[in-house]
Amino acid sequence: MKICFKCLIKKPLSSFYKHPQMADGHLGKCKDCAKADVLLHRQNNIEEVRKYDRTRGRTEKRRQLNKIIRINLSAKEKAINALRRQKWAKENTIKRAAHIIVGNAIRNGNLIPCPCERCGNKKVDAHHEDYTKALSVNWLCHKCHGKRHQEINDEQRAKQRENAGYIKS
């Protein structure tokens, strides 16, 4: 048993995270208090936390781990991923149709990829600003494509905050 220094409640050691540098091998605050602190920090620093999350996913260590995970997927996990893709296709029929139309147009030579509009990279993705206009695409490399979607998400979040009354015009 141990007393949490934050909530001052006596709890079993299983309610505390392990910490090898502590005398008893467990953190001084309970798991509930630690989680509450993390949640509060995330809420108070959401933009910095999101920026950190985005950059962390691009580190070489994370890329290598993801590559290993993809290689070692079991048959069950592959089937689950296939079901997720099918579910996405069913829920996003317009997007899926636009992807198919673009792929067919490229294959048939009716749509020719150009270098990235932002950086000039020759390896590009077709980006749709409006999925109902399937052949109206912007050519962006993978990195610029991700940045464009981040811009779109930031714009949507700003509109949501404005509509919720957080920003007064």
- The reply to whether 70 falls in a domain is no
- The reply to whether 50 falls in a domain is no
- The reply to whether 45 falls in a domain is no
Domain hosting 164: range is 92-169
DSSP of the chain = -EE-TTT--EE-GGGEEE-TTSTTSEEEEEHHHHHHHHHHHHHHTHHHHHHHHHHHHTSHHHHHHHHHHHHT--HHHHHHHHHHHHHHHHHTHHHHHHHHHHHHHHHHTSS-----TTT--SS-EEE-S-TTSTT--EEE-HHHHHHHHHHHHHHHHHHHHHHTTSS--
* pLDDT at 167 exceeding the cut of 70: no
User: Per-residue pLDDT tens for 94-140?
Assistant: 999 999 999 999 999 999 999 999 999 999 999 999 999 999 999 99
* pLDDT at 143 exceeding the cut of 80: yes
pTM: 0.55
How many separate domains does the chain show? 1
- The reply to whether 148 falls in a domain is yes
- The reply to whether 35 falls in a domain is no
